[in-house]
Amino acid sequence: MRPVSFSANNHIGLLHSGAAFFPALIAAIDAARFEIYLETYIFAADDTAMQVQQALEHAAQRGVKVYVITDWLGTGRQRSLTLNKEFEAAAVMHRAFNPWFRRGVARMHRKMCVLDRQHGFVGGLNIIDDMVSDDDQRQPLPVPRWDFAVSIVGPLVKVIHLELEAQWLRLGEMKLLERIQQCKRSRINLVGASQGVALAGLVLRDNFRNRRTIQRAYLQALGRARQSALLSSPYFAPGRKLRRALEIAAKRGVDVTLLLGVGHYRLQDAVSYSYYPKLLKAGVRIVEYRKTALHAKVAVIDENWATVGSSNFDGLSMLVNQEANVVINDVAFSMALRQQIEIGIADGVEVVANTFANLSWFARVRHGTAFVLYRLLMRIIAIDYRE
């Protein structure tokens, strides 16, 4: 497992939901002069996604080399085929990740973009309208989806570009020797001295070089926490190490708060509920966000550690899928993100410990069964999964 490499002097802006993200992304695409790499799990067919698609096509038509990677499952088979045809007609190069599960069950869940090797975006937002659910139902949401991304200018963009370029090559036709050489090149530390303002690093998860890098980043940050830890995720089913880290931090006096999404999948909710009693007993505060779909995978620990990205707190993100987070060591950024999370907490509903301490036997059996089924599923699709 490689250590996280940090670079200094990055200018990082917090983008809250699509209202901030999509105008910034489209403006950057319109300003691109020679190259664009964009990678997303979902590339929908709604009005917002079509604006991004048209911007990419216009860029290609003015001579910019445009590379787009979408996940075959997340985007959908038919939409992937349509995108392929439309992008090809507009001179945009497109590849789908793992069609028909040819490379196993892993998905490309990352959301990243680099333009002209100078401007980057990383976060949790798919290319889909904020007011529509991101499941197969595509139901209207009461208010915009709660999510975040970051805009990056600085040395870290070079690292993100290298990863996107490597991903594009991996999805093409490469001989074994070429793959080995490409893997060796990707191990080179490209970042500068780890001093200065806006210190940041790209934290990846894959099934080769970075199997537990994102989890390790969380564990280290929680282990060093002294005052507070605010963490948000739409899905909560972490392994024992991460749950234990949350409990230990709370027991030693750290104010640990989880802001969790609920109501998307019943089985997922039941699995999450099975963890609640022990976490609450340890002093972890749990708040459920019910105002709209919570999709943010963010955290702020103490005053200078923050992360924004695509990784959920569940087995798929931690053990199977390809994920990408940015870790930022900067007081100003951490405070800005903390403020947004605290607004989300204020809009949520706090879980009362007595509610789960006095559950009916039927509810306990349901939650326990969900936990067993979930753990079994993770053991099947991730051989090295250890609860």
Q: Which of 86, 108, 106, 87 is nearest to 39 (CA)?
A: 108
- Pair 118, 153: CB distance under 8 Å: yes
Q: Are 128 and 44 a contacting pair, CB within 8 Å?
A: yes
DSSP state of 100: G
Contact 273, 367 (CB under 8 A): yes
Token couple for 75 = 């985007």
Residue 295 falls in the annotated catalytic set: yes
Query: 109 an active-site residue?
Result: yes
| Active-site annotation holder among 264, 278, 281, 302 | 302
Angle at CA of residue 108, ends 336 and 232, nearest 5°: 30
Alpha helices for the chain (secondary structure H): 17-31, 47-61, 72-75, 77-89, 156-170, 176-185, 213-224, 240-251, 266-282, 315-319, 331-346, 353-357, 361-381
| Catalytic-role residue among 116, 281, 291, 347 | 116
For residue 220, what are the CA distances in angstroms to 61, 101, 305? 46, 34, 11
Residue 184: active-site member? no
Proportion of the chain in helix, strand, coil states, percent, rounded to 5: 40, 25, 35
- 163 close to 311: Cβ distance less than 8 angstroms: no
Choice among 94, 119, 161, 295 that is catalytic: 295
| Distances in whole angstroms, Cα of residue 19 to Cα of each of 40, 148, 151, 205, 369 | 18, 10, 14, 28, 40
Output the CA torsion 351→355→356→357 (10° steps): 130
Catalytic residue among 94, 111, 119, 161: 111
State the catalytic residue, choosing from 297, 314, 330, 367.
297
Which residue among the candidates 94, 109, 119, 367 is catalytic per the annotation?
Answer: 109
Cα separation, 137 vs 146, in Å, equals 18
Known catalytic residues? 109, 111, 116, 295, 297, 302
